[in-house]
Structure 1
Amino acid sequence: MSDLIQILPDNVANQIAAGEVVQRPASVVKELVENAIDAGGNSIKINLKDAGRTLIQVIDNGCGMSVTDARLAFERHATSKIRKAKDLFAIRTMGFRGEALASIAAIANVELKTKRTEDELGTHIVISGSEAISQEVSACSDGSNFIVKNLFFNVPARRKFLKANSTELRNIITEFHRIVLSHPEIAFQLLHNDSEIYNLPASHIRQRIINVFGKGMNQRLISINTSTSIVKLTGFIGKPKNAKRNLGEQFFFVNNRYMRHPYFHKAIMQAYDKILPPETIPPYFIFFEVDPQIIDINIHPTKTEIKFEDERAIYQIIQASIREALGKFNIVPSIDFDEDNSLEIPVADSNADIEAPMIKVNPEFNPFEADLNYNPFDGEKSYNPFDEERRSFESNQFYQEFKAKTPPQQSGGTRKPVPEKWETLYEEPSKRESDEKLNQAKIDRENIPDYFQPQKPPEEFVQKKLHPQEQIQKAKNFFQLKNKYILTPIRSGLMIIDQRKAHERILFEKFINSLENHQGIAQQTLFPQTIELNASDYTLLQVIIEDVRALGFDIREFGKKTFVINGTPADIHNCEPKELVENLLANYKSNQMDVKLKIRENLAKALAKASALNYGKTLSNEEMSSIIDQLFACSTPNFTPDGKAIISVLESQELESRFK
């Protein structure tokens, strides 16, 4: 029997590696831009066609590569960042594994034009599917120019599972945000289908955040700056009132490298405890500066997960730093932080000896024989600060005059006179009060004129007293519990309805009907509102704008990344148009994880959730009756579009069993 184990060819091994490194066009953009940053470029341009399917081009003005380096860069595990294993714990560059270019070249057509400053001519290399097509001398500018065409051309299964262009473009913009925020000193330009999305000049970090997320972000930021022996924290957090319901403005950076860290995110959420609106997440842009030796960045292929040596101490430092910042800006009840601005949290050394604290105590201390100000922990009398305050108060002129006018209390003075009707003092309060009210009513009734005396109503206006069961059948009885649930009795027991979920189902079916018939009615606003969106939301709204108008929105594009809202759907009341559009886009993006959900159904579902009745609103009997009538007119009254229960029935048998 022949041997079964064999070495894979390089092109197959590179395609397998590409499955980890290159998941979508955004992964290619990330790897190429990080290489451009490591090359020392201070100006980077990214050009895309069809959200990266057709073309991804990254141009930088960095150091460039020689003829030999340009060819070796596409080999597996070829890198200039590390030489030995010890270097893995002292990495400050973006890339280091040496797999990115080899993986990209395995599943795309790649061209590279590169030139060093000291060379007269550069190098032009063409590679397709890990196979070198050509390599020749070329005249080009300093730096590197990577061109990636026809991504996944030889892996049709991977290409087939790519999302729509709008979705893939948003993924690219998300990666773009992570890179540009960590390197504000570099100028970036992003173009898609020859249309400029971003043009960011070199600036400081606050200005870079404003340039990326809009001018309105400037008023929402609170700066933090904390230095300890473990970590240095800088950056910005958002004000609680500007928190949103979706993720997208939350960033951690360690030594200028983006990372995801759920444990540190939890520390931030606990620091905002009880000051955030429900189901919202505050924005934050936090930069960690740590010794590379106490972190491990080589635990994930995309290098977005980082392991810290002492995460619990950093957790506490993050909490304390954010609470300090919120206190300084009067977001929460503040403490005087001017006296000591240090948030040093000592970490116990496992090798150090632990000594018990020494406390001097007088074993012969008797509290019944000691002086008032005696401190058992000292050999001397302790100082009582209240003595000086008492002496200063007693020496006050007002206190002396008041003391002179007040007669001294005599221990042998005469007793106070006994009050009249002292026996009534020991009667029950309810009996005594009822007797007093009865006597007062008799007196008042005697003094009222005859024409003000109540007359007996005519017989035809006397309403007959109905049986309780007849009263329930005569009128609809609705009750509101905690401004959240609607209760109504039914034959089998008690029906409980969630008012927000019921309203969400009602609106969803109305919006679906409007989208199918294109009959959405817009209610014009008195004053049009303009809304500035980031690039991701801007491109999304451009894609779904026609369906948004079919729902009843009167919305038009107004300048770069800005829309003007002239009207909102007539079925929606008491909602700010700007906030409504932001929540609509946020819910739409969160629903895109469900592949089976159609675009129009997703849009109706997102708008219903964004505009549904909030908890805490007091409803009148007529409003509760209207909600219930509309709910049971829906095709699926029992469940929300998300599949959550709207109605629950407490059976009579279960209710009776609770009283046995």
Structure 2
Amino acid sequence: MPIHVLSDELSSRIAAGEVIERPASVVKELVENSLDAGSTRVAVEVAGGGARSITVVDNGQGIPAGQLAIAFERFATSKIDESSDLIAIGTLGFRGEALPSIASVASVEVTSKEAGADAGARYLVDFGKPGSLEAAGVPEGTRIVVSGLFKNVPARLKFLGSAGRELSRIQTMLASLALIHPEVAFSLNADGRDRLRTTGSGNMIDAVSGVYGQKIAGQMLLLEADESAAFSVDGIVSSPSLNRSNRTYLTLSVNGRWIQSRRLSYAIEQAYHGFLPERRFPIAVARIRTPLDDVDANVHPAKAEVRFLREDLVYSVVQRAIRGVLTAYAPVHELGSGRARGSTGLLRTPISAGGLHVPGGPRGPGGYERPPGGRPEQGERTTSTPGASGVGYSQWPEPLSSPGPEIASSSGLAVDLVSGPASGPTSGQAPLSETQDQDTPGSGGSSSSAATPRETLPVLRVIGQAHETYIVAEGPDGVYLIDQHAAHERVTFERVKARFDENVIESQPLLEPVSVDLAPGVMTIVHEHLEELNRVGWGVEEFGGNSLIVRSVPAPLAVRASGGGAGNVFVTVLDELSEGGSGESWRERMFASIACHSSVRAGQTLSIDECKDLIRQLEKADQPNTCPHGRPTIVQLTVSDLEREFKRR
């Protein structure tokens, strides 16, 4: 095929693909133009997740009528004049690509009035074809309407997510800009519904309150910038007691530009080292100021990344600033208590060192071993509630033996594992196949003969528990180690999934409903998946803005959510589900998240009966060899392995 020059139309579409990936890209480019224009108010309206229409209105300096058409020419900009300007870029936009790129893949109407002008003007570009310029009576500022995005690029349109998912990306992006620029009043309306609103007071606490809610804002710590330093950071960070399960709540900016940086995110995480448990992350807004010629903003098509001349110095400044605030905030520790006075248990009590644990300690009611520290005499039971729309509600099954042993942990979790009668040998010497059969999670109450062949676990004899984490059992060909958390996750996952598929809601009403404040993007996920959340047992209602009332929780989470913990559990589950996915994959991850947070933990003592019951339930699982996240539940050390290690062969 001979080499040829592409047409202007085709080259424009290709160039647009680098800058405009999805509706959120359009909003970002337009809002950044508004900020460069000195706007103090920016209002965004979207329909259909932005694919149908996007409207951005600001009160900035406006565009002169004679320059509206020029603004849609490629590489036309008012922000730089010569190549030396690229060395020290002080504006968010500078390439002159945003408007022509958007106009090549959408219909764009812009109306604008320059400050002090007698009248404004209106200009239309329809998928790259310029229209006429006409006078218009409009207020000072600029209004841009983008409609039919990617209508002329079907290949790009079909790869967009659902309207809810695209809206979530817009909310996340706009919320980040609102946190970085608290001096600007932002608002977002989606399909006639307010999703985000900030005051523009210039106060970081007010901005956090508008984005995350007042509860979170009340637990934030201010970062004060050193105005005399060339490199400085200011913003706001959460106290250690306020943390999340992913990095979604980390917001970074450099000289007012919202960026994404793994290295700087890691600097924030390292600043919290020792303050947060593993795999927990803070809420933070870090606004970094550097000399303009020390940062290169022209290294990414969407300007989402920057390159620092002295990256190690910036990393150090961020880490020291946040660490200093946390150290000053840290409460005094009580001598010998293992936790801080007034703390929320962030410093976890070390798990007792110990090899093999063969239960034989103090006994509770019914002759079962009572874990150290005792346990409630009776576990909380769920109630049977009539369902709406003809959906059946049932009880989470009571244990067949009463009272059954529960496992108390420092997290407040109590798990009732024994659902079989306390009859027959209890010393752990009898094979599990001789114990009484019963319905188990994942079986759906059906016969043990499945229609689809599957690999089952061998008959195991429980010996004890190692490091309060692994169940040790003997099998026909060696020793088996079972991860108690992973095994219980698998059992609970299949039970929750089976009940969901059967359209049976197993829910625990809360004695006192709790309110939770969600990030704007997470709130959209709730709207998109509300029916699925209800079917799995969450009872939630909107409470204005980005707040929800949680009235009930899935039955497996009943104990974990007791004592006011329902809100934290709900936020944690949603955070884990906000990474993406839809349909069946989203539901699978929802089941896995519920199973993870309701399962027995590492470091919890189990009695022989509890170990036996857990393995018996695992034997009946459809996929007993892995947890829902893919980790192994069981590891075998064969007789041959043992003989080889002991030099018997």
Q: Which residue of 2 aligns with 1:257?
A: 257
Q: Which residue of 2 aligns with 1:393?
A: none
Q: Which residue of 1 aligns with 2:443?
A: none
Q: Which residue of 2 aligns with 1:146?
A: 144
Residue 610 and residue 168 in structure 1: after superposition, are their counterparts in 2 closer, same or farther (change >3 A)? Answer: farther
Look up the equivalent residue of 2:470 and give its one-letter code.
Answer: Y
Would the aligned equivalents of 1:240 and 1:277 in 2 still touch at CA under 8 Å? no
Task: Name the structure, 1 or 2, with higher relative contact order (CA <8 Å, separation 6+).
Answer: 2
Q: Which residue of 2 aligns with 1:634?
A: 621
2:579 paired with 1:580? no
Distance in structure 2 (CA, Å) of the matches to 1:188 and 1:503: 46
SS in 2 for 1:51: helix
Offset at 1:60? 1.1
> Which residue of the other structure, out of 86, 96, 99, is the alignment partner of 1:98?
96
2:524 paired with 1:526? no
SS in 2 for 1:240: coil
CA-to-aligned-CA distance 1:324-356 (integer Å, 9 cap, x gap): 21211125889xxxxxxxxxxxxxxxxxxxxxx
Q: Which residue of 1 aligns with 2:270?
A: 270
Distance in structure 1 (CA, Å) of the matches to 2:428 and 2:220: 60
Q: Which residue of 1 aligns with 2:134?
A: 136
Q: Which residue of 2 aligns with 1:399?
A: none
Q: Which residue of 2 aligns with 1:409?
A: none
Would the aligned equivalents of 1:483 and 1:618 in 2 still touch at CA under 8 Å? yes
Offset at 1:527? 1.9
> Which residue of the other structure, out of 583, 589, 592, is the alignment partner of 1:602?
589
Residue 640 and residue 180 in structure 1: after superposition, are their counterparts in 2 closer, same or farther (change >3 A)? Answer: same
Distance in structure 2 (CA, Å) of the matches to 1:654 and 1:105: 68
CA-to-aligned-CA distance 1:586-643 (integer Å, 9 cap, x gap): 22223x35x7844433332332233332222222222212211111111111122232
Offset at 1:506? 1.1
Would the aligned equivalents of 1:20 and 1:301 in 2 still touch at CA under 8 Å? yes
Q: Which residue of 2 aligns with 1:497?
A: 482
> Which residue of the other structure, out of 588, 602, 611, is the alignment partner of 2:598?
611
Would the aligned equivalents of 1:583 and 1:610 in 2 still touch at CA under 8 Å? no
Offset at 1:230? 4.2
Distance in structure 2 (CA, Å) of the matches to 1:152 and 1:548: 32
Distance in structure 2 (CA, Å) of the matches to 1:139 and 1:596: 47
Which structure 2 residues correspond to residues 185-196 of structure 1 after superposition, within 5 A? 185-196=183-194
Distance in structure 1 (CA, Å) of the matches to 2:142 and 2:645: 77
Residue 127 and residue 472 in structure 1: after superposition, are their counterparts in 2 closer, same or farther (change >3 A)? Answer: closer
SS in 1 for 2:109: strand
Q: Which residue of 1 aligns with 2:446?
A: none
Offset at 1:317? 2.7
Q: Which residue of 1 aligns with 2:177?
A: 179
Residue 183 and residue 320 in structure 1: after superposition, are their counterparts in 2 closer, same or farther (change >3 A)? Answer: closer
Distance in structure 1 (CA, Å) of the matches to 2:547 and 2:318: 35
Q: CA RMSD in A?
A: 2.4
For structure 1, the 5+ residue unaligned runs are: 335-465
2:325 paired with 1:325? yes
Would the aligned equivalents of 1:327 and 1:333 in 2 still touch at CA under 8 Å? no
Offset at 1:109? 0.6
Distance in structure 2 (CA, Å) of the matches to 1:265 and 1:598: 28
Would the aligned equivalents of 1:82 and 1:96 in 2 still touch at CA under 8 Å? yes
Offset at 1:573? 4.2
Q: Which residue of 2 aligns with 1:377?
A: none
Would the aligned equivalents of 2:150 and 2:156 in 1 still touch at CA under 8 Å? yes
Would the aligned equivalents of 2:627 and 2:633 in 1 still touch at CA under 8 Å? yes
2:475 paired with 1:486? no
Larger helix percent: 1
Offset at 1:192? 0.6
Q: Which residue of 2 aligns with 1:311?
A: 311
| Segment drifting more, 559-568 vs 83-92 | 559-568
Distance in structure 1 (CA, Å) of the matches to 2:631 and 2:497: 18
Offset at 1:296? 0.7
SS in 2 for 1:276: coil
Look up the equivalent residue of 2:641 and give its one-letter code.
Answer: E
Look up the equivalent residue of 2:172 and give its one-letter code.
Answer: T
Distance in structure 1 (CA, Å) of the matches to 2:506 and 2:605: 27
SS in 1 for 2:305: coil
Look up the equivalent residue of 1:169 and give its one-letter code.
Answer: L
SS in 1 for 2:145: strand
Look up the equivalent residue of 2:208 and give its one-letter code.
Answer: I
Offset at 1:226? 5.0
Would the aligned equivalents of 1:587 and 1:610 in 2 still touch at CA under 8 Å? no
For structure 2, the 5+ residue unaligned runs are: 335-424, 436-460
Would the aligned equivalents of 1:515 and 1:600 in 2 still touch at CA under 8 Å? no
2:157 paired with 1:159? yes
Distance in structure 2 (CA, Å) of the matches to 1:542 and 1:319: 37
Distance in structure 1 (CA, Å) of the matches to 2:593 and 2:428: 43
Would the aligned equivalents of 2:493 and 2:595 in 1 still touch at CA under 8 Å? yes
Q: Which residue of 1 aligns with 2:124?
A: 126
Offset at 1:297? 0.7
Residue 233 and residue 561 in structure 1: after superposition, are their counterparts in 2 closer, same or farther (change >3 A)? Answer: closer
Q: Which residue of 2 aligns with 1:400?
A: none
Residue 545 and residue 105 in structure 1: after superposition, are their counterparts in 2 closer, same or farther (change >3 A)? Answer: same
Offset at 1:147? 0.5
Q: Which residue of 1 aligns with 2:108?
A: 110
Q: Which residue of 1 aligns with 2:611?
A: 624
Residue 535 and residue 33 in structure 1: after superposition, are their counterparts in 2 closer, same or farther (change >3 A)? Answer: same
Look up the equivalent residue of 2:267 and give its one-letter code.
Answer: A
Q: Which residue of 1 aligns with 2:642?
A: 655
Distance in structure 2 (CA, Å) of the matches to 1:124 and 1:106: 18
Would the aligned equivalents of 1:255 and 1:288 in 2 still touch at CA under 8 Å? yes
Look up the equivalent residue of 2:462 and give its one-letter code.
Answer: N
Q: Which residue of 2 aligns with 1:244?
A: 244
Would the aligned equivalents of 2:177 and 2:258 in 1 still touch at CA under 8 Å? yes
Q: Which residue of 1 aligns with 2:521?
A: 536
Look up the equivalent residue of 2:488 and give its one-letter code.
Answer: H
> Which residue of the other structure, out of 499, 506, 514, is the alignment partner of 1:514?
499
Residue 101 and residue 314 in structure 1: after superposition, are their counterparts in 2 closer, same or farther (change >3 A)? Answer: same
Distance in structure 2 (CA, Å) of the matches to 1:9 and 1:332: 69
Would the aligned equivalents of 2:510 and 2:551 in 1 still touch at CA under 8 Å? yes
SS in 1 for 2:149: coil
Offset at 1:510? 1.1
CA-to-aligned-CA distance 1:178-218 (integer Å, 9 cap, x gap): 21112111111210111111222211122111221111122
Distance in structure 2 (CA, Å) of the matches to 1:508 and 1:615: 18
Q: Which residue of 1 aligns with 2:295?
A: 295
Look up the equivalent residue of 1:155 and give its one-letter code.
Answer: V
SS in 1 for 2:551: strand
Distance in structure 2 (CA, Å) of the matches to 1:70 and 1:598: 46
Q: Which residue of 2 aligns with 1:280?
A: 280
Look up the equivalent residue of 1:50 and give its one-letter code.
Answer: G
Would the aligned equivalents of 2:106 and 2:149 in 1 still touch at CA under 8 Å? yes
Would the aligned equivalents of 1:494 and 1:652 in 2 still touch at CA under 8 Å? yes
CA-to-aligned-CA distance 1:482-519 (integer Å, 9 cap, x gap): 22211111121111111111111111111111111111
Residue 556 and residue 174 in structure 1: after superposition, are their counterparts in 2 closer, same or farther (change >3 A)? Answer: closer
After TM superposition, the score normalised by the length of structure 2 is 0.77
> Which residue of the other structure, out of 161, 166, 169, is the alignment partner of 2:167?
169
Offset at 1:102? 0.6
Look up the equivalent residue of 1:245 and give its one-letter code.
Answer: S
Q: Which residue of 1 aligns with 2:43?
A: 45
SS in 2 for 1:587: helix
SS in 2 for 1:571: helix
